[in-house]
Amino acid sequence: MTIPYRPIAFGLFALAFAALLFERAQAGGSHFFPPVSDPVVREECGSCHLAYAPSMLPARSWQRMAGDLKNHFGDDASVDTATTARITDYLVANAADTGGRRHGGKLLRGVPAADAPLRITELPRWVKEHREVPARDWKEARSKANCLACHRGAERGDYDD
């Protein structure tokens, strides 16, 4: 019996291509960052601002941030020890270089391994993606922390628009 190599090879190729497309689609063209699913983290990190997706910063950044919640960008966001531990564990486990690598990996481009940036808006990739946003839009959003002003689907993790 002759083995039909050519059709099999073609089939495998098509399958691999489809898988690649599917993964890209799932990643929302790399503009999908899964929202916070832990209710405690959502509550504690999402009262004053959008609960930023853990895959937007590397684990070392989250560790640094959770280690100094008393001085959180000028605000005292401290919580009790148990809550701090829960928040830290969740963010570290789903960070851009851990569990959330598939979604946030690209955001870490240009970030030196020794750096632990605290502001998502200062990541080189973020700056690049937003360089064409006109000043009047920033004014309307009031703060660069206000993703929702333009990204209407941000709470669902969708940053496509």
Partner 1 sequence: MNSSQATLLTLAIALSLAARPASAAARDELLADYAVTAKKNNPAFAGFSAARGGVFHRKSFAGGKPDTPACTSCHADDPRAAGRTPAGKAIDAVAVSVSPTRYVDPAKVEKWFRRNCQDVLGRECSAQEKGDWLSYMLSR
How many CA atoms, within 13 angstroms, populate the side-chain half-sphere of residue 149? 14
If one asks whether residue 141 binds partner 1 (CB under 8 A), the answer comes out as yes
If one asks whether residue 118 binds partner 1 (CB under 8 A), the answer comes out as no
CA-to-CA distance for 62 and 118, rounded, in angstroms?
8
If one asks whether residue 142 binds partner 1 (CB under 8 A), the answer comes out as yes
Residue 55 CB, nearest distance to partner 1 (Å)? Answer: 20
What Cα–Cα distance (Å) separates residue 139 from each residue in 26, 51, 58, 92, 142?
32, 21, 29, 32, 5
If one asks whether residue 75 binds partner 1 (CB under 8 A), the answer comes out as yes
Residue 120 CB, nearest distance to partner 1 (Å)? Answer: 12
Instruction: Please give the residue ranges that form the binding site for partner 1 (CB under 8 A).
Output: 46-50, 74-77, 79, 141-143, 145-146, 148-149
